Protein backbone atom coordinates (compact mmCIF):
# COMPACT_ATOMS: atom_id res chain seq x y z
CA UNK A 1 0.00 0.00 0.00
CA UNK A 2 0.65 0.46 -0.17
CA UNK A 3 2.10 -1.68 1.82
CA UNK A 4 0.60 -4.85 0.89
CA UNK A 5 -0.82 -7.74 -0.88
CA UNK A 6 -3.39 -10.37 -0.26
CA UNK A 7 -1.02 -12.11 2.09
CA UNK A 8 -0.45 -9.11 4.29
CA UNK A 9 -2.21 -7.93 7.37
CA UNK A 10 -3.09 -4.56 8.74
CA UNK A 11 0.19 -4.18 10.55
CA UNK A 12 1.98 -2.84 7.59
CA UNK A 13 -0.18 0.11 6.93
CA UNK A 14 0.52 1.77 10.16
CA UNK A 15 4.22 1.45 9.52
CA UNK A 16 3.89 3.30 6.24
CA UNK A 17 4.21 6.51 8.20
CA UNK A 18 7.02 5.38 10.46
CA UNK A 19 10.57 6.49 9.86
CA UNK A 20 9.60 9.23 7.41
CA UNK A 21 12.66 11.20 6.34
CA UNK A 22 12.62 14.21 4.08
CA UNK A 23 15.29 14.29 1.42
CA UNK A 24 16.42 17.11 -0.80
CA UNK A 25 14.53 17.13 -4.08
CA UNK A 26 16.22 17.22 -7.44
CA UNK A 27 15.40 16.86 -11.14
CA UNK A 28 14.88 13.35 -12.44
CA UNK A 29 17.31 11.88 -14.93
CA UNK A 30 15.86 11.08 -18.34
CA UNK A 31 16.91 8.15 -20.48
CA UNK A 32 16.26 4.49 -20.89
CA UNK A 33 14.55 2.05 -23.23
CA UNK A 34 10.82 1.37 -22.97
CA UNK A 35 10.36 -2.33 -22.17
CA UNK A 36 6.69 -2.55 -21.11
CA UNK A 37 3.66 -0.29 -21.12
CA UNK A 38 -0.08 0.01 -21.18
CA UNK A 39 -1.37 3.13 -22.95
CA UNK A 40 -5.01 2.04 -22.50
CA UNK A 41 -5.86 2.62 -26.14
CA UNK A 42 -8.73 0.16 -26.08
CA UNK A 43 -12.13 -0.29 -24.41
CA UNK A 44 -13.54 -2.60 -21.78
CA UNK A 45 -11.75 -4.52 -19.06
CA UNK A 46 -7.98 -4.10 -18.50
CA UNK A 47 -5.85 -6.18 -20.88
CA UNK A 48 -5.89 -9.68 -19.37
CA UNK A 49 -2.46 -10.46 -20.81
CA UNK A 50 -1.03 -7.70 -18.61
CA UNK A 51 -3.27 -7.40 -15.54
CA UNK A 52 -4.78 -9.68 -12.93
CA UNK A 53 -7.00 -8.84 -9.93
CA UNK A 54 -7.06 -9.07 -6.19
CA UNK A 55 -10.48 -10.12 -4.94
CA UNK A 56 -12.46 -9.80 -1.72
CA UNK A 57 -11.40 -8.27 1.60
CA UNK A 58 -7.62 -8.27 1.30
CA UNK A 59 -5.80 -6.30 4.02
CA UNK A 60 -5.61 -3.49 6.58
CA UNK A 61 -9.23 -3.79 7.80
CA UNK A 62 -10.34 -1.95 4.66
CA UNK A 63 -14.07 -1.72 4.01
CA UNK A 64 -14.19 -2.31 0.25
CA UNK A 65 -14.73 -5.60 -1.55
CA UNK A 66 -12.28 -5.81 -4.44
CA UNK A 67 -14.17 -7.20 -7.42
CA UNK A 68 -12.77 -9.30 -10.26
CA UNK A 69 -13.26 -8.26 -13.88
CA UNK A 70 -16.32 -6.14 -13.04
CA UNK A 71 -16.82 -3.21 -15.40
CA UNK A 72 -18.56 -1.15 -12.72
CA UNK A 73 -15.30 -1.01 -10.78
CA UNK A 74 -12.53 -1.20 -13.37
CA UNK A 75 -12.67 -0.32 -17.04
CA UNK A 76 -10.82 1.32 -19.91
CA UNK A 77 -12.51 4.13 -21.80
CA UNK A 78 -11.32 7.09 -23.88
CA UNK A 79 -7.67 6.20 -23.37
CA UNK A 80 -7.84 5.96 -19.59
CA UNK A 81 -7.99 3.13 -17.09
CA UNK A 82 -10.53 3.94 -14.39
CA UNK A 83 -10.70 2.30 -10.96
CA UNK A 84 -14.14 3.31 -9.70
CA UNK A 85 -15.02 3.07 -6.02
CA UNK A 86 -18.69 2.82 -5.13
CA UNK A 87 -20.92 2.97 -2.08
CA UNK A 88 -23.11 -0.10 -2.63
CA UNK A 89 -24.15 -3.34 -1.01
CA UNK A 90 -22.11 -6.16 -2.52
CA UNK A 91 -21.77 -9.56 -0.90
CA UNK A 92 -20.72 -8.74 2.69
CA UNK A 93 -19.47 -5.23 1.92
CA UNK A 94 -20.88 -1.71 1.85
CA UNK A 95 -18.31 -0.54 -0.71
CA UNK A 96 -16.70 -1.90 -3.87
CA UNK A 97 -13.49 -1.03 -5.67
CA UNK A 98 -10.72 -2.70 -7.67
CA UNK A 99 -7.08 -3.68 -7.31
CA UNK A 100 -5.12 -4.86 -10.34
CA UNK A 101 -1.55 -6.13 -10.63
CA UNK A 102 0.96 -7.80 -12.94
CA UNK A 103 1.86 -10.71 -10.66
CA UNK A 104 2.31 -13.82 -12.79
CA UNK A 105 1.99 -11.71 -15.96
CA UNK A 106 5.03 -9.45 -15.94
CA UNK A 107 7.88 -8.69 -13.57
CA UNK A 108 10.63 -6.11 -13.84
CA UNK A 109 14.25 -6.93 -13.09
CA UNK A 110 17.43 -4.88 -12.90
CA UNK A 111 17.74 -1.13 -13.28
CA UNK A 112 14.33 0.31 -14.13
CA UNK A 113 12.24 3.46 -14.13
CA UNK A 114 8.45 3.28 -13.74
CA UNK A 115 6.23 6.19 -14.79
CA UNK A 116 2.48 6.30 -14.16
CA UNK A 117 0.45 9.34 -15.21
CA UNK A 118 -2.67 9.53 -13.08
CA UNK A 119 -5.35 11.70 -11.51
CA UNK A 120 -6.28 10.53 -8.05
CA UNK A 121 -9.62 10.52 -6.20
CA UNK A 122 -10.36 12.60 -3.11
CA UNK A 123 -12.46 12.65 0.05
CA UNK A 124 -12.26 11.24 3.56
CA UNK A 125 -11.82 7.49 3.57
CA UNK A 126 -10.35 7.19 0.08
CA UNK A 127 -6.91 5.58 -0.22
CA UNK A 128 -5.49 5.08 -3.76
CA UNK A 129 -2.04 3.64 -4.36
CA UNK A 130 0.53 2.84 -7.04
CA UNK A 131 3.15 0.41 -5.80
CA UNK A 132 5.49 -2.54 -6.42
CA UNK A 133 6.42 -5.68 -4.54
CA UNK A 134 8.85 -8.53 -5.06
CA UNK A 135 7.50 -11.14 -7.45
CA UNK A 136 8.78 -13.78 -5.01
CA UNK A 137 6.13 -12.79 -2.46
CA UNK A 138 4.44 -16.20 -2.53
CA UNK A 139 7.73 -17.91 -1.80
CA UNK A 140 9.17 -15.70 0.96
CA UNK A 141 6.28 -13.47 2.06
CA UNK A 142 6.13 -9.84 3.07
CA UNK A 143 8.21 -7.88 4.00
CA UNK A 144 11.13 -10.01 2.80
CA UNK A 145 9.90 -9.52 -0.75
CA UNK A 146 10.07 -5.71 -0.19
CA UNK A 147 7.40 -3.19 -0.99
CA UNK A 148 8.06 0.05 -2.86
CA UNK A 149 5.15 2.50 -2.63
CA UNK A 150 5.37 4.84 -5.59
CA UNK A 151 2.32 6.88 -4.59
CA UNK A 152 -0.15 6.76 -1.74
CA UNK A 153 -2.83 9.30 -0.91
CA UNK A 154 -5.21 9.33 2.03
CA UNK A 155 -8.21 11.64 1.86
CA UNK A 156 -7.88 12.86 5.42
CA UNK A 157 -4.50 14.40 4.52
CA UNK A 158 -5.31 16.63 1.52
CA UNK A 159 -2.68 17.74 -0.99
CA UNK A 160 -0.10 15.22 0.27
CA UNK A 161 1.49 12.36 -1.66
CA UNK A 162 3.51 9.71 0.18
CA UNK A 163 6.34 7.54 -1.13
CA UNK A 164 7.51 4.74 1.17
CA UNK A 165 9.81 1.71 1.08
CA UNK A 166 9.21 -1.38 3.24
CA UNK A 167 11.71 -4.19 3.81
CA UNK A 168 12.78 -6.93 6.19
CA UNK A 169 15.78 -6.05 8.34
CA UNK A 170 17.88 -8.81 9.83
CA UNK A 171 19.01 -6.59 12.71
CA UNK A 172 15.59 -6.84 14.35
CA UNK A 173 14.50 -9.63 16.69
CA UNK A 174 11.05 -9.73 15.13
CA UNK A 175 10.99 -12.67 12.63
CA UNK A 176 9.51 -10.37 9.99
CA UNK A 177 11.97 -7.59 10.78
CA UNK A 178 9.75 -4.96 9.19
CA UNK A 179 11.27 -1.54 8.64
CA UNK A 180 10.09 1.35 6.49
CA UNK A 181 11.31 4.74 5.36
CA UNK A 182 9.87 7.38 3.10
CA UNK A 183 8.86 10.97 2.57
CA UNK A 184 6.04 13.08 1.17
CA UNK A 185 5.43 15.95 -1.19
CA UNK A 186 2.62 18.51 -1.12
CA UNK A 187 0.80 19.55 -4.31
CA UNK A 188 -2.52 21.42 -4.27
CA UNK A 189 -4.03 20.09 -7.51
CA UNK A 190 -3.37 16.35 -7.20
CA UNK A 191 -7.11 15.56 -7.31
CA UNK A 192 -7.82 17.86 -10.25
CA UNK A 193 -4.95 17.30 -12.68
CA UNK A 194 -2.86 14.43 -14.00
CA UNK A 195 0.64 14.06 -12.60
CA UNK A 196 3.42 11.58 -13.29
CA UNK A 197 4.30 9.38 -10.31
CA UNK A 198 7.42 7.30 -10.59
CA UNK A 199 10.20 5.19 -9.16
CA UNK A 200 13.75 4.46 -10.26
CA UNK A 201 15.94 1.60 -9.16
CA UNK A 202 19.66 1.39 -9.92
CA UNK A 203 21.40 -1.51 -8.25
CA UNK A 204 20.11 -1.54 -4.68
CA UNK A 205 19.25 2.19 -4.61
CA UNK A 206 15.69 3.45 -5.06
CA UNK A 207 14.38 6.95 -5.82
CA UNK A 208 10.76 8.09 -5.77
CA UNK A 209 9.64 11.06 -7.85
CA UNK A 210 6.64 13.11 -8.86
CA UNK A 211 6.59 14.90 -12.20
CA UNK A 212 10.16 16.13 -12.68
CA UNK A 213 11.53 15.94 -9.14
CA UNK A 214 12.83 13.22 -6.87
CA UNK A 215 11.60 13.69 -3.32
CA UNK A 216 12.91 10.56 -1.61
CA UNK A 217 15.83 8.21 -2.13
CA UNK A 218 17.69 5.52 -0.22
CA UNK A 219 20.03 2.58 -0.72
CA UNK A 220 19.44 -0.86 0.73
CA UNK A 221 20.75 -1.06 4.29
CA UNK A 222 23.50 -3.61 4.86
CA UNK A 223 21.10 -5.42 7.20
CA UNK A 224 18.25 -5.72 4.65
CA UNK A 225 17.12 -9.23 3.73
CA UNK A 226 19.54 -10.64 1.15
CA UNK A 227 19.03 -9.34 -2.41
CA UNK A 228 15.57 -7.98 -1.58
CA UNK A 229 16.20 -4.51 -3.03
CA UNK A 230 17.48 -5.98 -6.30
CA UNK A 231 14.92 -8.75 -6.89
CA UNK A 232 12.32 -8.63 -9.70
CA UNK A 233 9.23 -6.55 -8.95
CA UNK A 234 5.60 -6.50 -10.05
CA UNK A 235 3.15 -3.59 -10.24
CA UNK A 236 -0.07 -2.93 -8.32
CA UNK A 237 -2.72 -0.20 -8.70
CA UNK A 238 -5.76 0.07 -6.45
CA UNK A 239 -8.13 2.23 -4.44
CA UNK A 240 -8.84 1.18 -0.88
CA UNK A 241 -11.60 2.60 1.32
CA UNK A 242 -11.25 3.17 5.05
CA UNK A 243 -9.08 0.74 6.96
CA UNK A 244 -6.10 1.28 9.20
CA UNK A 245 -4.81 4.34 7.34
CA UNK A 246 -7.79 5.39 5.23
CA UNK A 247 -9.74 6.06 8.44
CA UNK A 248 -13.30 7.32 8.72
CA UNK A 249 -15.34 7.36 5.52
CA UNK A 250 -17.49 10.21 4.22
CA UNK A 251 -20.21 8.45 2.24
CA UNK A 252 -21.13 11.67 0.42
CA UNK A 253 -17.92 11.49 -1.68
CA UNK A 254 -18.95 8.48 -3.78
CA UNK A 255 -18.58 7.55 -6.56
CA UNK A 256 -14.83 8.20 -6.82
CA UNK A 257 -12.60 7.61 -9.86
CA UNK A 258 -8.87 6.87 -9.95
CA UNK A 259 -7.87 7.59 -13.57
CA UNK A 260 -4.63 6.31 -15.09
CA UNK A 261 -3.49 7.68 -18.44
CA UNK A 262 -0.54 5.32 -18.95
CA UNK A 263 1.90 2.99 -17.27
CA UNK A 264 5.45 2.82 -18.70
CA UNK A 265 8.49 0.86 -17.58
CA UNK A 266 11.96 1.67 -18.89
CA UNK A 267 15.23 -0.24 -18.72
CA UNK A 268 17.79 2.27 -17.53
CA UNK A 269 21.14 2.67 -19.26
Nearest to 66 by CA among 129, 151, 144, 132: 129
62 is catalytic: no
54 is catalytic: no
The DSSP result for 13-73, as a single string, is HHHTTTTB-----EEPPP--EEEEEE---S-BS--TTT-EE--BS-STT--EEEPSS-TTT
Q: Which of the following is catalytic: 54, 62, 147, 200? A: 147
Residues 6 or more apart whose CB falls under 8 angstroms from that of 52 comprise: 100, 101, 102, 103, 104, 105
Of 54, 62, 115, 152, the active-site residue reads 152
Q: Rounded to whole angstroms, how far apart are CA atoms 37 and 11?
A: 32
**Is residue 131 a contact partner of residue 118, using CB atoms and an 8 Å limit?**
no
The residues that are catalytic are 147, 152
Amino acid sequence: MKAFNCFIGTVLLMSALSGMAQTKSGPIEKGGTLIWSDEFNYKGLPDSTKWDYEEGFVRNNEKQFYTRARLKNCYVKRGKLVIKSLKEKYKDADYTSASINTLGKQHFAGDIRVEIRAKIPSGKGIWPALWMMGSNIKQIGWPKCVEFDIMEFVGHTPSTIYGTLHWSDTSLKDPNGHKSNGSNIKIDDINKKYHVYGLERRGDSVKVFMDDKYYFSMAAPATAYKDSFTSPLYLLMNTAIGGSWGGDIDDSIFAQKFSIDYVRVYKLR
